[in-house]
Amino acid sequence: MEMKNQSSVTEFMLVGLSSLPEYQMFLFMLFTFIYMAALTGNLLIVITITTSTRLHTPMYFLLINLSLINLLSISVSIPKMLHNLLEHKKTIAFLGCITQIYLFTWTLGSEALVLAAMAFDRYVAICHPLHYTIIMRKEVCVELIAGVWIAGVINSAVNTGFVLQLSFCNSNIINHFFCELPSVLKLSCSDISLNETLAFLADIVFGMGSCVVTLTSYYFILRTVLKIRSTEGKKKAFSTCSSHLIVVILYYSTAIYTYIHPSSAYSPNRDKVITVLYSVITPVLNPIIYSLRNKEVKEALRKLIRRLEISNLLGAL
């Protein structure tokens, strides 16, 4: 796709979460902690599941992919934001901005699809346990995840490609903490109706479509759980489902809202807070909700830590 004239814009200014100098160090420390927590949690999940043969099942295969997506998504925005918090000149090159749009849009769509796949996996396991090994066999899982990543790439390539067709001849100040599609479209002096339509359609397919699949799956799961006679079993199942639903609803509602409303309704301060919820908070919560509260994962993690401790002791001898 041929790139049109961007006039004299070679870089953008990122306002960040706050332009007040007294908040910069606090925000730097806060988001450094959040970023390290997200990296640690998601890397632990990937390493633990990969090294434990007991966890080589469809559910944990999907969890690994969710963690990889979370690692990529939070690394797209936070490192540059942390760098800018310490710099007086908070800029990002034009191509750097386009790269952020491409990578973040990719992970955003892929995460929505993975969450739907995870919900469907649990639906089959709980509602149709006798058919689980047939429906969620290895080749199906591999094809499913390949489709998720490829769909995310295509969606991102299309949306980013049409951004490159726009001209930016007015302000180059992005009132956001990274280059996200809606905030960049707001700056263009070209007609962005096609871009907004594409973003809206992607939101319908990836956001609302995945959300419907996820919520429908949990509806049938909860209906099956209600038939459990054991009170303790019901309590445990409801605890797990409710925590999953909280994260799912938080992610889908905020992401769908951001990409479905027109640029005329753009409110920088409100939209920045909403973006933090699905781009920063969910990558921290996902490892806790989906994995670290799981007995099998915790046991595998303890074994991994013991193996590392033994290796360190042997290495010291």
Most confident of 4-8, 86-90, 167-171, 249-253: 249-253
Q: Are 90 and 17 in contact (CB under 8 A)?
A: no
**Rounded CA separation 296/142 (Å):** 22
Give 3-state DSSP helix, strand, coil % of the chain, rounded to 5: 80, 5, 20
DSSP 237-289: HHHHHHHHHHHHHHHHHHHHHHHHS-GGG--HHHHHHHHHIIIIIHHHHHIII
| Range 159-185 average pLDDT | 91
> Do 290 and 46 meet the contact criterion of CB atoms below 8 Å apart?
no
- Chain-centre distance of CA 1, in angstroms? 27
Q: Is the dihedral of CA 62, 64, 70, 75 positive or negative?
A: negative
* DSSP three-state, residue 201: helix
pTM score of the predicted model: 0.89
Do residues 148 and 47 lie in contact, with contact meaning Cβ atoms separated by under 8 Å?
Answer: no
pLDDT: which is higher, 301 or 110: 110
SS3 98: helix
pLDDT tens by residue, 13-29: 999 888 888 888 999 99
> Which are the contacts of 120, defined by CB distance < 8 A and separation ≥ 6?
213, 217
Whether residue 124 contacts residue 221, with contact meaning beta carbons closer than 8 Å, is answered with no
Summarize the confidence of residues 64-93 as an average pLDDT: 92
What percent of the chain is predicted at pLDDT more than 70?
91
CA dihedral 130, 132, 137, 142 (to 10 degrees): 180
Inter-CA distances, 213 with 142, 157, 205, 207, 267, Å:
19, 24, 11, 10, 30
pLDDT at position 243 over 80: no
Residue 317, exposed/middle/buried by CB under 10 A (0-12, 13-18, 19+)? exposed
pLDDT at site 2: 43
Residue 7 has pLDDT above 60, yes or no: no
- Give the model confidence (pLDDT) of 254-295 as tens digits: 888 888 876 666 677 888 889 999 999 999 998 888 776 778
Phi, psi of 11 (to 5 degrees): -155, 160
In the chain, domain spans:
18-306
pLDDT for the residue 215: 92
Query: Pick from 126, 124, 82: which is nearest to 236 by CA?
Result: 126
Provide mean pLDDT across the span 238-258. 82
Q: What is the pLDDT of residue 265?
A: 64
Q: What is the mean pLDDT of residues 55-60?
A: 92
Domain 18-306 has CATH 1.20.1070.10: yes
Percent with pLDDT over 90 in the chain: 56
* pLDDT score at 276: 92
Q: Do 195 and 185 form a contact (C-beta atoms < 8 A)?
A: yes
